[in-house]
C-alpha cells in the first residue's frame, strides 16, 4: 500500500513518521506541506475522511498560529472557514497528515500508525 504523506522536512514529528514508514517498509509519496499546501477542498475531504474535528488539523504550536491569532479566528469557525484558513499557509496545518484515499491520520503516534498503515 502506498500512502500520501503531507510533511515538512524540518519537523521532528514528521521525521519520526518518515523513519517509521521506512522501518516498516510502507511506501509513501511525500508532499511538502508548505510548497504544495492542500487546497481548501482537499482539506475538507481530509477532515471528513478523518472523522476528526477540523480544529485537530490546526498546528497550535506554530509561530504563525500565535502571530496571526488563529485561536481567536477558529473559535466559532465552521469546517469550511477553518479549511480556508489552513489552505492559506501550510505552516498552519498540523503534520504529518497521512492518507490512503479513504483513511486519514493527523500527527504521529506509533500505535496510531500501526493500526492504520500496516
Number of separate domains in the chain: 1
Pairing of strands 27-32, 97-99: unpaired
Which CATH number characterizes residue 107's domain?
A: 3.40.30.10
pLDDT digits (tens, 9 = 90+) for 78-92: 999 999 999 999 999
pLDDT per residue as tens, the chain (118 positions):
799 999 999 999 999 999 999 999 999 999 999 999 999 999 999 999 999 999 999 999 999 999 999 999 999 999 999 999 999 999 999 999 999 999 999 999 999 999 999 9
The whole-angstrom separation of Cα 47 and Cα 45 is 5
Alpha helices in 24-101 (DSSP H): 40-50, 63-67, 70-74, 79-87
Q: Which three cell numbers stand for residue 2?
A: 502506498
For residue 11, the Cα-to-chain-centroid distance in whole angstroms is 12
User: Residue 73 sits in which domain range?
Assistant: 2-117
- Distance from the first to the final alpha carbon of the chain: 9
Whole-prediction pTM: 0.95
Amino acid at each position: 500500500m502506498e500512502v500520501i504523506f503531507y510533511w515538512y522536512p524540518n519537523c521532528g514529528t514528521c521525521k519520526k513518521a518518515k523513519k517509521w514508514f521506512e522501518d516498516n517498509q510502507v511506501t509513501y509519496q511525500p508532499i511538502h506541506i508548505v510548497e504544495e499546501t492542500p487546497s481548501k477542498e482537499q482539506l475538507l475531504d481530509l477532515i471528513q475522511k478523518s472523522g476528526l474535528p477540523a480544529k485537530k488539523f490546526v498546528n497550535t504550536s506554530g509561530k504563525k498560529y500565535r502571530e496571526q491569532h488563529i485561536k481567536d479566528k477558529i473559535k466559532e469557525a465552521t469546517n469550511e472557514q477553518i479549511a480556508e484558513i489552513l489552505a492559506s499557509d501550510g505552516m498552519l496545518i498540523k503534520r504529518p497528515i497521512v492518507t490512503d484515499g479513504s483513511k486519514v491520520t493527523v500527527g504521529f503516534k506509533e500505535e496510531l500508525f500501526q493500526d492504520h498503515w500496516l
